[in-house]
Amino acid sequence: MSRVRTALIPPSPPPRAVAGPVAWMRRNLFSSLGNGLTSLAILALLAWLVPAALRFLVLDAVWTGDSGAACRPEIVGRPVGACWAFIGEKIGYLTYGSYPVAERWRPNLFFALSALALAWMLWPGSPRRGLGAVFAFLLLPLAAYGLLAGMPALGLDPVPTGRWGGFLVTIVVSLVGIVAALPLGILLALGRRSELTVLRLLCTGFIEFWRGVPLITVLFMANVMLPLFLPGDLTVDRLVRPLVGIALFASAYMAEVVRGGLQAVPRGQEEAAAALGLTRPQVLAFVVLPQALKVVVPGIVNTLIGLFKDTTLVSIVGISDFIRALEAARADPRWSAPSVPVTAYAFAALVYFAVCFGMARYAGFIERRLAAGDRR
């Protein structure tokens, strides 16, 4: 009985918070001395940058005007930030380039069809995904070419690619590269792992060649050197040439990403599927590729983001993409103002950030969804 407690135990202090903003900050920002000092330094930098950016982009910005005079501080009599009036005036040219104004409904329809294809393919719960793939990879390219280039048989006047420009060209180049890179990359990755020696050597040589050449060199060869090797009566459209070069270049990089996923699939998976009576194409389509592509989702999205940003290089070979249209627009003497160049590049940065950030967030959503499926 001497070991039996006869007094009440004093109440213990409440546990440290494990939820809420304070707990999150303690866990993620100040979990250690080094982490805390780094977090404080970054917060101080943001406290200095964010107000200045907010002042330039919003508070001191000029939203209306018909010339650069509206964005000159000596004329308006106050500090002037971003000249959004310039972007509003030039937004049509930045979007379509020199595409005829009366025919701009055709690029608009192309944008709508592209959005439909993306939503159909990327929405996890969309019905008839196979039909969506046919629409995105077969019907959309044909319809886009007919809409943008023109089909006289259907009453659509021809519009030469030299008049295309701005964000329209950036989207066209990006979509062609993305649509071509993924299937070609998968085929090249499978070919590089093939047991057929000739096929394996051809795919390996193709991949190593394109990965060993800078993209700017590919574009230069496609636009400048290729016509020198063609017969005099044979010409290739000046926009088609860099499109083919970008598609082949991106497919080589995509092939290596997919090959990494294929190597991550255990060999026993293929042997078990073959033991069940599945043919080699069935093993690849239903067992190996789904697992391999799930593993390399981050690598695939990273390659696609890099491809979207690399489309700006086509401006070097004379293609009027979004950046080149922006450069031409800000050279307008009527819009000569100190803040116009900064506004132009800030607008370009926001556009590219919005697209790339959206792609990255969607990839994160897919990764979380696949991880949840594995846990179940």
Distance (Å) of CA 376 to CA 87, 124, 174, 336: 49, 17, 36, 61
Residue 16 has a pLDDT of 60
Task: Say which residues have a Cβ less than 8 Å from residue 78's Cβ, sequence separation at least 6.
Answer: 60
What was the pLDDT predicted at 222? 82
pLDDT above 70 as % of the chain: 95
Q: Quickly list H helices, the chain.
A: 21-28, 33-54, 73-76, 84-96, 105-122, 129-134, 140-149, 167-192, 197-211, 215-220, 226-229, 240-264, 267-275, 280-283, 289-295, 297-310, 322-330, 340-375
Q: Token pair of 267, please?
A: 């060999």
Residue 123 CA to chain centroid, in angstroms? Answer: 17
- 3-class secondary structure, 278: coil
pLDDT of residue 374: 58
pLDDT for the residue 250: 92
**116 vs 143: CA distance, rounded Å:** 13
Of the candidates 164, 147, 143, 177, the residue with the CA atom closest to the CA atom of residue 248 = 177
**Chain mean pLDDT for the chain:** 87
Residues 6+ apart with CB under 8 A from 169: 97, 239, 314, 319, 320, 321, 322
Q: Please calculate the CA angle 305-114-167 and round it to the nearest 5 degrees.
A: 60
pLDDT mean over 341-368? 91
The percent of residues above 90 in pLDDT, for the chain, comes to 36
Residue of 356, 262, 251, 339 lying closest to 302 (CA atoms):
356
Identify whether the C-beta of residue 71 lies closer than 8 Å to the C-beta of residue 310.
Answer: no
- Residue whose pair of structure tokens reads 């048989």 in the numeric block: 153
pTM here? 0.83
**Structural domains of the chain sorted by starting position, each given as residue range(s) with its CATH number in brackets:** 26-75 (no CATH), 87-105+152-375 (1.10.3720.10), 106-151 (no CATH)
pLDDT for 2? 58
Tell me, what's the pLDDT at 87? Answer: 93
